[in-house]
Amino acid sequence: MPAPPNRALPRWSLRRARLLVGSKLALVAGLVVFVGLAWLVERLLGLDGPVRLSPALALVVAGVPASLWLAFFYLQDRHEPEPMHFVAGVFLLGGLVAAPIADFVIYQLAPPVPFAQHGLTPFTLDRIVHAVLVVGLGQELCKYVAVRYTIYTSPEFDEPMDGVVYMMAVGTGFAVWINYHRLQGQGGSVYLSTGAAQVVVTTPAHASFAGWLGYVLGRAKFTRRRALSRGVLLFFGLLGAAVLNGQFALVEQRVTTSGFGTHAWRGVLYAAAVAVAVFAVLMLLVQRLLAESPFRKPEVAAAAGKAVGSDDDDDDDDDDDPDVDDAPVGDGASDRGGGEGAR
């Protein structure tokens, strides 16, 4: 890759700020439009019942919101954005390697138990064990391994915030696989609008669970603690993600079904609530990571030093900081310097 020409830009550019905020807003608007479109198609075609989506269409419905979300998450890392092809690669790794392996292992360990076995009660012990420890932990472990043994060791993973970005990318890829099978499963019959809405909300939910793990992972990589406490931190990070994942599946099912009826929109609302809550907490943590970022401009860091990571204005300023936009090769070189400095 040729070295980028060194062109000094003004660090405070309103145009850049608008571009970044505008991009995020456009992405969220895109997601809303996506659900709206699905709803509109359903109305226009007079689809009263579930439809059978072809594999290609199911892939589009599962993939489009995921791509938008991926772009949204990508923009969170303001100081030292990651190389886009790395993020895309990790996203594919999540969807095409981690998720199928997780599915296979989970199926082998606990083949699905027919509905009649434990009836309608959602919170039986066997369901909790299955949702949290088998499915939840199994899925999060696969996401974790996908990052831990690829990007984690790379020089690109050079600040705690990167853990969140890459894990969210894996989680988003994972969600594509899950949503694709959800749309194709159950005889391939889904309601178009609820199906689309579900995809839109479960994708950030899965990404956020992984993001939580990524936060722990990022912290772990740059911690000064002893190996044992670092291991414990990671393990509880995994367990935490598993609990989030498991409760999400259980409660979503609980609110979706009542008796033999299903209320898909309730599930969507719950999923949205969880996704927003987890994502918001994650963003608070991310603000801390960003505030502590080694790539933060010294001037800005000094300005923000008074109120670390909690000042909204400060964040907006960071958003606009154009100087540290992606330049993977150069960053790699600077990271090398950092690593050696630490030694």
Site residues for other proteins, 260-319, by CB under 8 A, read 292, 294, 297-298, 301
User: Should residue 33 be labelled a site residue for other proteins when binding is judged by CB under 8 A?
Assistant: no
CB burial of 7-29 (b: ≥16 within 10 Å; e: otherwise) equals: eeeeeeeeebbeebeeeeeebee
User: Should residue 121 be labelled a site residue for other proteins when binding is judged by CB under 8 A?
Assistant: no
Q: Find the part of the chain contacting other proteins (CB under 8 A) among 39-47, 55-63, 88-96, 182-190.
A: 88-96
Q: Find the part of the chain contacting other proteins (CB under 8 A) among 42-50, 165-173, 247-255, 335-343.
A: 335-343
CA distance 196 to 35: 6
User: Should residue 253 be labelled a site residue for other proteins when binding is judged by CB under 8 A?
Assistant: no
Binding mask 214-233 for other proteins (x = CB under 8 A): -------xxxxxxxx-xx--
Q: Find the part of the chain contacting other proteins (CB under 8 A) among 30-38, 83-91, 173-181, 251-259.
A: 83-91
> Which of residues 141, 197, 274, 278 is near other proteins by CB under 8 A?
141
Please state the closest distance from residue 124 (CB atom) to other proteins, in A: 8
Question: Which residues pair with residue 258 across a beta bridge?
Answer: 261
Neighbours of 147 (CB within 10 A): 26
Q: Which of 204, 207, 231 is nearest to 219 (CA)?
A: 231
Residues with Cβ < 8 Å from 80, sequence gap 6 or more? 158, 159, 161, 293, 295, 324, 331
Nearer residue to other proteins within complex by CB, 38 or 93 = 93
> Which of residues 31, 170, 190, 238 is near other proteins by CB under 8 A?
238
Q: Find the part of the chain contacting other proteins (CB under 8 A) among 31-39, 42-50, 103-111, 249-257.
A: 103-111
Tokens representing 182 are 């959800």
Of residues 142-161, those binding other proteins (CB under 8 A) = 144-145, 148-155, 158-159
> Which of residues 86, 191, 248, 279 is near other proteins by CB under 8 A?
86
SS3 label, residue 10: coil
Number of residues that bind other proteins (CB under 8 A): 89
> Which of residues 117, 259, 260, 306 is near other proteins by CB under 8 A?
117
Q: Find the part of the chain contacting other proteins (CB under 8 A) among 35-43, 131-139, 166-174, 201-209.
A: 131-139
Nearer residue to other proteins within complex by CB, 93 or 98 = 93
Please state the closest distance from residue 258 (CB atom) to other proteins, in A: 21
Residue type, 208: S
Given a contact cutoff of 8 angstroms between Cβ atoms, the answer to whether 17 and 316 are in contact is yes
Question: Which residues pair with residue 51 across a beta bridge?
Answer: 190
Binding mask 35-74 for other proteins (x = CB under 8 A): ------------------------------------x---
User: Should residue 28 be labelled a site residue for other proteins when binding is judged by CB under 8 A?
Assistant: no
Please state the closest distance from residue 49 (CB atom) to other proteins, in A: 25
Longest dimension (CA), the chain: 67
The phi-psi region of residue 50 (left if phi > 0; otherwise alpha if psi is between -120 and 50; otherwise beta) is beta
Measured at the CA of 118, the angle between CA 115 and CA 119, to 5 degrees, comes to 65
Residue type, 185: G
Given a contact cutoff of 8 angstroms between Cβ atoms, the answer to whether 65 and 34 are in contact is yes
Q: Find the part of the chain contacting other proteins (CB under 8 A) among 28-36, 37-45, 111-119, 199-207.
A: 111-119
C-beta contacts of 7-15 below 8 A and 24+ residues apart: 9/322, 9/323, 11/297, 11/321, 11/322, 11/323, 12/317, 12/320, 13/320, 13/322, 14/320
Q: Find the part of the chain contacting other proteins (CB under 8 A) among 58-66, 107-115, 259-267, 271-279.
A: 107-115
Nearer residue to other proteins within complex by CB, 63 or 89 = 89
